[in-house]
Amino acid sequence: MSEKKRKTITISLIVLSLVMIVSGAVRGEPFAVFNKAIKVCMQCIGIG
């Protein structure tokens, strides 16, 4: 892979991931993550 092509892919991926994060945040996904993360996950600790 040429250096120019690799750089283009890297920058496109950074932009895409930022767009995804912002879109997800607008949809309210961080609240779902937060709500899951602040409660003890029974499946994770093995008593699911």
Partner 1 sequence: MEKERRWTEKYRHLLQAFYFAFTNGYARGYTNGMIFTGKSKYLCVPGLNCYSCPGAIGACPIGSLQAILGSNTYRISLYVSGMLALFGVFFGRLVCGFLCPFGLVQDLLYKIPFPIKKKNLPAHNQLKYLRYVILAVFVILLTSLIHDVTGTGIPWFCEWICPSGTLLAGVPLMILNPEFREAIGFQFFWKMGILLVIMLGSVAYYRPFCKYLCPLGAIYGVFNPVSTYRLVIDKEKCVNCGSCQKACLMDIRTNQTPNSPDCIRCLKCVSACPTGAIDSSWNIARSKFESRLLSEEENSPNPEVTKTTLLAILTIIAGLATMVSTFKYNLDGVLVYHFSGLTSGRGVLAYMLVTLFKGIVSFFMIITGYKLFINRNDENAVHRFREQTRMILKFVIIIVIAGIASLFADLSLLSVMFNAILICPFPIIGLPLLASAASSTDKLVQGKGSAVLWWIVFVLLAVVTSYIAYISTVIILAG
Residues lying near partner 1 in the complex (CB under 8 A) are found at 1, 6, 9-10, 13-14, 16-25, 27, 29-34, 36-48
- Taking the alpha carbons of 42, 45, 47, 48 in that order, is the dihedral positive or negative? positive
Instruction: Name the minimum Å distance from CB 3 to partner 1.
Output: 10
Residue 12 tokens read as: 């496109």
The answer for residues whose C-beta is within 8 angstroms of residue 11's C-beta and 6 or more apart is none
Instruction: Name the minimum Å distance from CB 18 to partner 1.
Output: 7
Instruction: Name the minimum Å distance from CB 35 to partner 1.
Output: 8
